[in-house]
Amino acid sequence: MIEKIDHIGIVVKDLEEGKRLFSEGLGFKMTSEEISEEFNCKIAFFPCGEVLLELVQPIGPGPSQEFLDKCGGGIHHICYKVPDIDNAVKKMNKSFTLKDQKPRPGANGSKVFFLAPASILNMETEFVELADKEE
């Protein structure tokens, strides 16, 4: 069911500074940037091998802002790519408590859902079905 790790979400206070550090400092090339109204944040993606690094800056109340307030930023979540998000919701609901009972819109036209961290080692865990199922 899980195909691979899709991305690692990193919450930052200042997306522009994060983008500068990742591009100039680490040499990564940004592939996309957008605003997520669903999650109230700005997002930028940087490929690192087969995994994306997702920089997330809160732009209002929501999970990213709560994490920034509590922890000051840093690694927020790991996201697994699945071929069928509805099937993944059904399977995960058998073993874990779901934060999202149905998929929500994600970045780049994808569909996502999260597990409740308390049900999986206190880790923020996301699943994604990409809009374009081709890579």
- Kindly write down the DSSP assignment for every residue of 40-83, as one continuous string: TEEEEEEEETTEEEEEEEE-SSSHHHHHHHHH-SEEEEEEEE-S
Q: What is the pTM of this model?
A: 0.92
Q: Which fold has domain 4-129?
A: 2,3-Dihydroxybiphenyl 1,2-Dioxygenase; domain 1 (3.10.180)
Contact residues for 65 (Cβ-Cβ < 8 A; gap 6+): 40, 58
pLDDT digits (tens, 9 = 90+) for 50-102: 999 999 999 999 999 999 999 999 999 999 999 999 999 999 999 999 999 99
pLDDT at 135: 45
Instruction: List the chain domain ranges.
Output: 4-129
Q: Mean of the pLDDT values across residues 106-110?
A: 94
pLDDT at 35: 97
Q: Mean of the pLDDT values across residues 110-117?
A: 97
Q: Mean of the pLDDT values across residues 15-25?
A: 98
Strands 51-58 and 4-11, how do they pair? parallel
